[in-house]
Amino acid sequence: MESVSWQSAHYQEPYNSQRKAKYPAKMERLGLKDEDRAAAVLDTCCGQGIALSVMHDWGFTALTGLDATPHPDWAKDGPAVIHQGDVHAMPFPDHSFDIVTNLHSLHHLGGALGVRAFVAEVHRVLKPGGRFYIIDFPGSPQIWLLFRMFRAGLYPPTGSLRNFAAIVDEEWSYKAPYLREWPAVARELHHGPLRVASLKQRFFLYYLKLVKD
């Protein structure tokens, strides 16, 4: 479960809504808009359910979410069935999903060992031929520099960068091992049980599609 202070920083308005508005374009860049609308989809670390509602708007019908921290937006009559649970031990049978997604959350799962255990679980719940889509920060020198500046208090006094710096601070206990172990984290992603189908590397984010052959 994320702390109350993490939740209040992460879901602070208007920054949460501003972040939300960017999701359709990011998810399209990832390749999700090209997927079959009847696919069984699991969004891991789904948070309040932003990605699930975008996919619902695009016409996807079999939507499931999983997150350790419950959110008030998980309405019983919402577009997806959302479960509370840990992505390292998912409450789903083998071969349940055509698509698994993990957006802006891999850095919550610790270093390389946490990512390895998660990828093994994704491999288990995916059907043969299933796809795993990820967006997150790479452990690049630019990201380290930016986050170190935030940690040193170098950010504007107000605004979205100030909010982002507060989130980085709240996440530091697991973000630091993820960034420090980045080469090993990348190895777990690129040379684990799933095959790399595409990788788009941007300045601050990577967009990765893996496939279960």
Please report, as ranges, the residues that interact with ligand SAM according to CB under 6 A.
Answer: 2, 45-47, 50, 67-69, 86-88, 103-105, 108-109
**Minimal distance in Å, beta carbon 129 to ligand SAM?**
24
Rank residues 7 and 140 by Cβ distance to ligand SAM and give the closer one.
Answer: 7
CB of 77 to ligand SAM, least distance (A): 21
Cα separations in angstroms, 185 against 18, 84, 147, 158: 29, 25, 18, 33
Cβ 137 to ligand SAM, closest distance in Å? 11
Rounded to a whole number of angstroms, the minimum distance from the CB of residue 105 to ligand SAM is: 4
The least distance separating ligand SAM from the CB of residue 86, rounded to whole angstroms, comes to 4
**Minimal distance in Å, beta carbon 203 to ligand SAM?**
19
What's the token pair of residue 133? 């889509």
Instruction: Specify whether the CB–CB gap between 66 and 46 falls below 8 A.
Output: yes
d(CA 57, CA 2): 28
Q: Which of 98/136 has CB closer to ligand SAM?
A: 136
- Asked if residue 196 lies in contact with residue 210, where contact means CB atoms within 8 angstroms, the answer is yes
* 179 SS3 class: helix
The answer to whether 101 and 43 have CB atoms below 8 angstroms apart is: yes
43 vs 98, beta carbon nearer ligand SAM: 43
Give the long-range contacts of residues 81-88, CB within 8 A, separation 24 or more: 82/46, 82/49, 82/52, 87/44, 87/45, 87/118, 87/121, 88/114, 88/117, 88/118, 88/121
Closer residue to ligand SAM, CB minimum distance, 12 or 69 = 69
Determine the Cα–Cα distance for residues 2 and 167; give it in Å rounded to an integer: 11
Closer of 67 and 188 to ligand SAM (Cβ): 67
Say if residue 156 is preceded by a cis peptide, omega within 30 of 0: no
Chain residue whose CB lies nearest ligand SAM: 47
Q: With respect to ligand SAM, which residue has the nearer C-beta, 39 or 82?
A: 82
Helix or strand run (H / E) with residue 125: helix 112-125
